[in-house]
Structure 1
Amino acid sequence: MINWITGNWFLSLLIVNYIVAISAAFFLIKSNQNPRKTVSSLLFLVALPFLGLGIYYFFGLEYRKSKIFKRKDLNANELIQNWNKRLHISEDDLDKYEETFLVDRLKMVKLLRHNQTAPLTLRNNLKVLFNGRNKFDELFKDIKNATNHIHLEYFIICDDHIGLEVINLLIEAANRGVEVRIIYDSVGSDISRKTKRKMTDAGIEYQSFMPVLFSKFTRKANYRNHRKIFIIDGSIGYIGGVNISDDYVNEPINYNDTYWRDTHLRIEGHAVKSLQAQWLLNWYFVKNQKDDYEVPKAYFPEIDIAENKAVQIAASGPDTDWANIMEALFIAINTAEECVYITTPYFIPNEAILTSLKSAARSGVEIHIMVPKKGDSWAARYASRSYFEELLESGIHVHWYCRGMLHAKTMVVDQLFATIGTSNMDYRSFDINFEINALIYDDDIAIELNEQFQKDLEYCEEVLPDLWFKRDKMNKFKESFCRLWAPLL
């Protein structure tokens, strides 16, 4: 037997591979995941010996969701929900807005309240920040004025030019007595040991979110913290698409030859309390804290701001019972009456979002979708293009952004509702990664985002149906092949 194995080592390895693959397939089918994701994973297990197991391990395996995230302490969850309940508006108070600025968006408000006790907050001042430079200019001023605490949570933090500017300002804040705590994703971030020592010496606490070995080789590993949250003194918050990296600042000193178009939001007001609550949940998780929690009152200060902008914070991830952001977008699209404007770097929608878009368009709603022409992922680019034909057939306008990398994640509906956040229009954002969006029920913000959409169109090329339907067969094959990966990308 041993002689046969050594003489037929490749065949032996192949047999072992398929024994493991069959076991994995049984587990996969039994887990009742999304059917398309299950079929995709089974296809790679069968068609790609050895490589298929690797793909399944990094993209299809769900053990972390069922085991690791149970470590998110229920006491912490209950504590944060109690803080959120203090911000709640009663059902009677909600009803009075039905005839004013919320209109039928009340469905969305009530959905998120039911799903995750996410309060609607009415006392907020908002400022939309287009591109990285505008974000960092505002952020630097707020860091310098911080007096109590600074909390941040980012997918990408790099100690490059802009990253060191941020970190040095955080060190200065810590040296003057401000509490600074950082959550960074171990796959997306790149912080040197030297920089970490400088932060430690200044008294800054930092934690890596679900650390992995060889992070440079696991850029698409599952269950990453894709959020970008910055909180100053519990009253000022930032949320959106701009990470802390030179890629996002289009300036000569750190320009990487690709123009990055992005959108961020500065919030001053009660919605920051919801950002703080979500940050705390992940802080307790990465600290693996098991004791009872006493949250400092300074984390949730009294904020005296007149009623101005209505905002609701939607957070989702593999630890939530519901796909909160996806469901909110689904309702927003389904209740649209006039128009929907979407900007996203990755458009790989699930069946629910795709059907809602096509149905809305065929019912007379004008829908425009803007995506980068090249993007930063070959597979995602072609997978995205595989949806264009059915979008165009439904009357949806698709625009290629040609100036550089479009990284903004926004949607505007009927110039009444808008969302700015970290979630892309893809499977990964809806089902796998930790994401967070601000849902804004305000016509001024919606109009401002629509005006920016019109400006961005100047750098776009519209995908015309007649030409698109005639594209060559090789491109069609690439699209179809990459679409097989769609639930895994």
Structure 2
Amino acid sequence: MTIDWSMVFNVIVVINAILAIFTVFREKRDIAAIWAWLLVLVFLPLVGFIAYAFLGRKLPKNRLFKLHKHVQMQLDERLNEQRKQLGHDEKTPADEVVTEAKTAVDMFMTTDQAFLSRQNKVHIFTDGNSLFHKVIGDIEAAKKSIHIEFYTFYNDQIGNEILNLLVKKAREGVEVRVIYDSWGSMGTTRKFFQPLVDAGGKAFPFLNTRSVLLDFRINFRDHRKIIVIDGTIGYTGGFNIGDQYLGRKKKFGNWRDTHIRIIGSGVFGLQARFILDWNATSPRDQIDEDQVEPKYFPVTTTKGNVNMQIVSSGPDSDLQQIKMGYIKLITMAKDYCWIQSPYLIPDDSMMDALRIAAMSGVDVRIMVPSMPDHPFVYRATQYYARQLAEEGVKIYYYGDGFIHAKTMVIDDKISSVGSANLDYRSFKLNFEINAFIYDQKFSADLRDIFLNDIDVSELQTPEKFEEQSLWLKFKQTFSRLLSPIL
């Protein structure tokens, strides 16, 4: 008896196609992601389904982020006390920006309950050495609590330096809690944090993932970067904890990123986000109603000039709050909109916003790296850079190492610094956090930093993109097809 292999092959193809259609359509997702996954599942029968098992399934939401209402009540109470303490009837130049940006402020309040925090002191860091020098000093001075949440917490020189300091503070009786992403912190196991646990501190991988290899939802990562010390000092931005972020890795060389240090009620937004993430992560050590005390939201008498909203987004919500914020800022720009992002893989709505701004005479500039850290992501970034350059957006390739900053500044008035890249993953798949800032001086400082970075960057004109080889353009186009799942 002979086997008709062509018939067997045809049957396998048909069954695979049916399974692919059933698999992709059984969960609600956008059209771009549907086509991308169909492409993978149909043309890579076995490999595609394995990839889908790890990357394609949705995140269960029933156990996420408990006690949101109680945390919000604590925030409201402490914010009222903060306003009375600082005399918030006094008007500042930043309040004029808030008035102009009222629709953006209202949108964040509606979509993410992101309160407007006034009169903060904010300092910008663009170098890892100066950032971690300040972070270490603040941790050493901590008296009550240290809350840390990072996508990457590596077991390397700076990782061990931070860990040893946390162990020391835990032994002194300071409450130390750490959340890390098991995928982003590849190679860092629970054993690494055992000295901290032995000293009385606590550390868990985000959503309590037991093993990277057994994590069948590696597509949903905790990309947030949060440090809160004594409830009064907060950090957020693009830096992670690892030697490469201090320029110690030859592969990347100089690491150019942007992070901010906050003093004021803006820290409350970071603290609230940490508490919610902790409760979703730690099954046996919940910060419950009896524990959410004013100590986590202390009133400060420090008075600055910066107004801000802390906005978070993630796959636990379909609103894509940070993406909506980016689009809102782009459409509000009248003179210029300058963006820095290591990855440029925008969806259709973001592409339209950038096109409309550029075609309306707004000076739209986007700065991306000139070197890859992920090959498919980098080629997709080049594809979209080429498309935008052809439509009037100025594209710069940063040339002094690797740029990892996630910033946006418009018209010397409104800006954003945070963890969210300009790509599908940050918009829909990752848990992210950004500070949206309403202040002329802060925005002007970000503008000046961008101008300094232009000095070591190269403008990519449509003519330069046209000179690229057909093979390179093919790789870019192919990578673009995978954009929704990169």
TM-score, normalised relative to structure 1: 0.90
* Residues 213, 287 of structure 1: alpha-carbon distance in 2 compared, 3 angstrom cutoff: closer
How do residues 57-456 of structure 1 correspond to structure 2 at under 5 angstroms? 57-62=53-58, 64=59, 67=60, 69-72=61-64, 74=66, 76-86=67-77, 87=79, 100-189=96-185, 190-192=187-189, 194-210=191-207, 212=209, 215=212, 221-251=218-248, 258-288=253-283, 292-294=288-290, 295-306=292-303, 308-456=305-453
Q: Distance in 2 between matches of 1:12 and 1:145?
A: 69
Q: Distance in 2 between matches of 1:21 and 1:94?
A: 65
Local SS of the residue matching 1:384: helix
What residue number does 1:42 align with?
Answer: 38
Q: Distance in 2 between matches of 1:140 and 1:291?
A: 26
- Displacement, 1:427? 0.2
Deviation string, structure 1 residues 402-425 (Cα, Å, up to 9, x no partner): 222111111111111111100000
**Identity within the alignment, %:** 34
- Displacement, 1:200? 1.6
Local SS of the residue matching 2:101: helix
Q: Distance in 2 between matches of 1:383 and 1:311?
A: 32
Query: Which residue identity is paired with 2:449?
Result: Q
Q: Distance in 2 between matches of 1:228 and 1:420?
A: 11
Local SS of the residue matching 1:71: coil
- Displacement, 1:38? 0.5
103-112 vs 187-196, which deviates more? 187-196
Contact map agreement 1:264 1:421 (CA 8 A) in 2:
yes
* Residues 292, 201 of structure 1: alpha-carbon distance in 2 compared, 3 angstrom cutoff: closer
Local SS of the residue matching 2:97: coil
Q: Distance in 1 between matches of 2:405 and 2:6?
A: 48
Q: Distance in 2 between matches of 1:17 and 1:256?
A: 42
8-17 vs 225-234, which deviates more? 8-17
Contact map agreement 2:253 2:402 (CA 8 A) in 1:
yes
Q: Distance in 1 between matches of 2:120 and 2:257?
A: 22
Deviation string, structure 1 residues 58-105 (Cα, Å, up to 9, x no partner): 33222x2xx2x210254x11112223434379xx99999998222432
Task: Tell me, yes or no, if structure 1 residue 54 matches structure 2 residue 50.
Answer: yes
Structure 2 spans left out of the alignment, 5+ residues: none
* Residues 410, 96 of structure 1: alpha-carbon distance in 2 compared, 3 angstrom cutoff: closer
- Displacement, 1:220? 9.5
Q: Distance in 2 between matches of 1:73 and 1:468?
A: 45
TM-score, normalised relative to structure 2: 0.91
- Displacement, 1:291? 9.0
